[in-house]
Structure 1
């Protein structure tokens, strides 16, 4: 390499480490000289690999995906499980693990430790190649294109850095749904870290949880582990809990391949409709079972308690092939979303997204049984028809309003409220300085489906005038509008691997051009 190259990675969470690990692995297998390549990773916390999802916290925070699909490496799906197997018996016991099983749902802090461990290993690999990897404990707040085609990064302390390639792995944006409640004592804008809930909330307090999906499950199970005795009320529009993963997973045959998706797209004239995808999923489910149990797919039960009872019974007694089929679509879900016709995307967002999230986002049996036990004790209640959360004037309480089955407004008083509705995908409402500056400068533009508009093949930023900045690519939650299911590690690892391959190819081409 006859030209100095500087690669900047903004963010130090699991997606950033996945990219870096696969970038260095690919670099090892190229003939490109590396002695003049420099990599800077910007992570203000100084803690690499954890982020919100995998930070050091209670072991009750379980992965919602089996361990055998949680690798940082797209082409080595068993990497995480193999790493777990290398731990001592004492270390495993610290995470409540008696034996290593790739089908298990292990504590998320364990995955965070794995990511941090891999980062240290990858840095050593890079150094052996002559590649310098520097970690800067600062937040990048602005990015600007320079006349010399390099890109200027500016951090919160006023320091400036130049790079010719940037990968944005910013992580999740904070929820913006209940900003008016932020100043009020007793309001938590996120459940995480859940051990903070136990340290702050008295055990006998009445708690309101906004949302009833996976983050709500984490909060409830943590409070239960801490010996909470007061009532807990979840409020959401639909009043539904996520699906419970079957304890008898189906080995999916007749998978949807990327080639098959492209062939279907060609047959349909370049765009897909929702019913095309639905029909293909139905065929895949019927491959394993002659009929599709649509009641089971949609979820059964008149209320959350009945629904959970049905979920647990079904997941203990049968395979539920629809779950495995939906999970298998991760291999092609970005293609399905990309080729879905714009009107169909809008219809999905408006009519089907909520149901998709409640059924596709599944949680493990271990926590489902804990939730069920709290419902049996009449300690946990899930309410549909959420209307509003009103803080009491000058007092530490909140009135939670919801519509009951008779469409009558009811109100419950809670001492503390936890926002478990998840992170924001609306960049236009974000107060994150980097996101604000990217939009203000026109270097980036919002996607109507969440996150930033990107070029699908490369992940490069699209500016407000539609121009591609291929030197700046995006991974993780800010890529949601382009690739859809960017909350799953296997999808992010695949996209990170793709970007690593493309960037190395581009750098190698530039090096050859310099030689010529």
Structure 2
């Protein structure tokens, strides 16, 4: 009997979680010796990709440890791992909550991922399963019948029956005209090119003010940079600050029950406006009175003033705009699926930036460090970025922002965050898949998938043997930047995929 081969493209958190869960389900069904799994990962170490291969101590997880377990239905597995390895982890834990809920460095989490993968890779071999790792980039995929052929960067081609697309967080290629410029860095990660090429005393410009920009700031702060740092962003809003102990709100208004009531009473899905109205009711109920919603953006205050205020709020346990989105974390993705595509687009346009900064906050530890940069007069944040152009004569970057203001910068780090649309993903594989019609861009972002099985959809048809997981599904799904959510979806994916294999083999 010929082996059924599964190829997992990507050896980061999603790829590792999918591999482990597939192995476990096949082994429990005693079909593991009929299936081979190949992980395709360009980095030498599985688990040490863009997100968790960082060497910087200031790059810390933005989610507490008890939600970061890599195993399906065991979100606390990583926090338990920290407790068992207390002597080993040392200063890698930013312990502002306690070991089971602490924030840790991302490099420590990369060690955890690698350890989990190594254990289950060796175990699969001991159990007689054919498993392999190919250290190369997947460049393109062609499909012939039910078979896939993956073209690799080392000139090899790999044949398989099933593909799980788990390429990790896609870097944004939103300034392609700058890619060949000497002092332009297309991403804060990896930090090695930044540290090698930017002098320690130089002033540095950063595109963006989100969590990716915070990573850029931490890289510079951790490595003794003494120059000024200027962030240029569309809105100038920085992530808000997570409380030490975040309150879980008992919701009465923005609930699945109330949204389902709209479906059954009005025979349609809820609108973005209706969802926001329920949120307003919830927030004002929690706050104990009316909220001045026009003042919520605090546009009359500088980024430094907003951050100081947010740190004080976090130390006091957070407010409605932080604690309610946090309390929605297990329901928000289901609510998102109940919005029609045009309503999702309205939500992103009207409320997306506010949802992002309140739902995906920075840990207090890093917020205090960023505040220190402000107070030392080393950091400025400018809003209303209009244009970035390279000046060949001056060999630098002309920044247009604010109300007709301009500045010249010698060094520029793009920290605008992950690409949300397929066309801006800096990935030869994703561009090839889109051009060949093997994936289809969703109008809200990412690619189209069946949210119950994670099978890729093109032309309104599922590709039965082609699956996708992670940030590349950011339109049809909501919390795709959260490990715990992706692990949950990986459970669905693996149950469906193994069900197909077991059905074929029986």
Matches within 5 A, 1:410-421: 410-421=405-416
Distance 1:455 1:96 in 2: 38
Distance 1:236 1:274 in 2: 26
Q: Using the TM superposition, give the Cα deviation of residue 364 of structure 1 relative to its aligned residue in structure 2, in angstroms.
A: 0.9
Q: Using the TM superposition, give the Cα deviation of residue 217 of structure 1 relative to its aligned residue in structure 2, in angstroms.
A: 1.0
Q: Using the TM superposition, give the Cα deviation of residue 348 of structure 1 relative to its aligned residue in structure 2, in angstroms.
A: 1.7
Q: Using the TM superposition, give the Cα deviation of residue 280 of structure 1 relative to its aligned residue in structure 2, in angstroms.
A: 4.1
Relative distance call for 1:309 and 1:7 in structure 2 (3 A) is same
Q: Which residue of 2 aligns with 1:490?
A: 484
SS in 2 for 1:271: coil
Q: Using the TM superposition, give the Cα deviation of residue 271 of structure 1 relative to its aligned residue in structure 2, in angstroms.
A: 1.2
SS in 1 for 2:348: helix
Q: Using the TM superposition, give the Cα deviation of residue 430 of structure 1 relative to its aligned residue in structure 2, in angstroms.
A: 4.3
1:467 is aligned to 2:461: yes
Q: Which residue of 2 aligns with 1:355?
A: 354
8 Å contact kept, 1:173–1:430 = yes
Matches within 5 A, 1:396-415: 396-403=395-402, 407=403, 409-415=404-410
SS in 2 for 1:325: helix
SS in 1 for 2:476: helix
1:499 is aligned to 2:493: yes
8 Å contact kept, 2:96–2:365 = no
CA deviation profile, 1:183-204 (whole Å, cap 9, x unmatched):
2221111111235433332222
Matches within 5 A, 1:380-459: 380-403=379-402, 407=403, 409-430=404-425, 432-459=427-454
8 Å contact kept, 1:182–1:189 = yes
Q: Using the TM superposition, give the Cα deviation of residue 289 of structure 1 relative to its aligned residue in structure 2, in angstroms.
A: 4.9
Relative distance call for 1:278 and 1:462 in structure 2 (3 A) is same
CA deviation profile, 1:467-504 (whole Å, cap 9, x unmatched):
22021010011111221321111111111111111112
Which range moves more in the overlay, 382-391 or 257-266?
Answer: 257-266
Structure 1 segments unaligned to the other structure (5+ residues): none
Q: Which residue of 2 aligns with 1:310?
A: 309
Distance 1:436 1:443 in 2: 10
CA deviation profile, 1:232-259 (whole Å, cap 9, x unmatched):
1111121121111122310343497767
8 Å contact kept, 1:337–1:484 = yes
Relative distance call for 1:431 and 1:245 in structure 2 (3 A) is closer
CA deviation profile, 1:28-57 (whole Å, cap 9, x unmatched):
4x4343221110110122321122111131
Relative distance call for 1:129 and 1:322 in structure 2 (3 A) is farther
CA deviation profile, 1:273-304 (whole Å, cap 9, x unmatched):
11332344445556755346556993445121
Distance 1:475 1:137 in 2: 20
Which range moves more in the overlay, 333-342 or 116-125?
Answer: 333-342
Q: Which residue of 2 aligns with 1:39?
A: 37
Which range moves more in the overlay, 258-267 or 114-123?
Answer: 258-267
Relative distance call for 1:203 and 1:192 in structure 2 (3 A) is same
Distance 1:114 1:267 in 2: 48
**Of residues 231, 234, 238 in structure 1, which corresponds to 2:231?**
234
8 Å contact kept, 1:208–1:400 = no
1:223 is aligned to 2:220: yes
Q: Which residue of 2 aligns with 1:55?
A: 53
Q: Which residue of 2 aligns with 1:101?
A: 99
Distance 1:260 1:134 in 2: 48
Distance 1:398 1:437 in 2: 31
SS in 2 for 1:482: coil
Distance 1:413 1:269 in 2: 55
Q: What root-mean-square deviation, in Å, do the aligned CA atoms of Structure 1 and Structure 2 show? A: 2.6
Matches within 5 A, 1:278-297: 278-282=276-280, 284-285=282-283, 289-291=287-289, 293=291
Q: Which residue of 2 aligns with 1:125?
A: 123
Q: Using the TM superposition, give the Cα deviation of residue 100 of structure 1 relative to its aligned residue in structure 2, in angstroms.
A: 5.1
Relative distance call for 1:382 and 1:124 in structure 2 (3 A) is same
Aligned length: 504
Relative distance call for 1:399 and 1:439 in structure 2 (3 A) is closer
Q: Using the TM superposition, give the Cα deviation of residue 260 of structure 1 relative to its aligned residue in structure 2, in angstroms.
A: 7.2
Q: Using the TM superposition, give the Cα deviation of residue 106 of structure 1 relative to its aligned residue in structure 2, in angstroms.
A: 1.0
Distance 1:401 1:254 in 2: 44
Q: Using the TM superposition, give the Cα deviation of residue 269 of structure 1 relative to its aligned residue in structure 2, in angstroms.
A: 1.9
Distance 2:112 2:157 in 1: 32
8 Å contact kept, 1:141–1:156 = yes
Q: Using the TM superposition, give the Cα deviation of residue 429 of structure 1 relative to its aligned residue in structure 2, in angstroms.
A: 4.4
SS in 2 for 1:357: helix
Q: Which residue of 1 aligns with 2:8?
A: 9
8 Å contact kept, 2:96–2:102 = no
SS in 2 for 1:59: coil
Which range moves more in the overlay, 419-428 or 306-315?
Answer: 419-428
Q: Using the TM superposition, give the Cα deviation of residue 124 of structure 1 relative to its aligned residue in structure 2, in angstroms.
A: 2.7
Structure 2 segments unaligned to the other structure (5+ residues): none
**Of residues 142, 146, 167 in structure 2, which corresponds to 1:144?**
142
8 Å contact kept, 1:59–1:95 = no
8 Å contact kept, 1:334–1:482 = no
1:476 is aligned to 2:470: yes
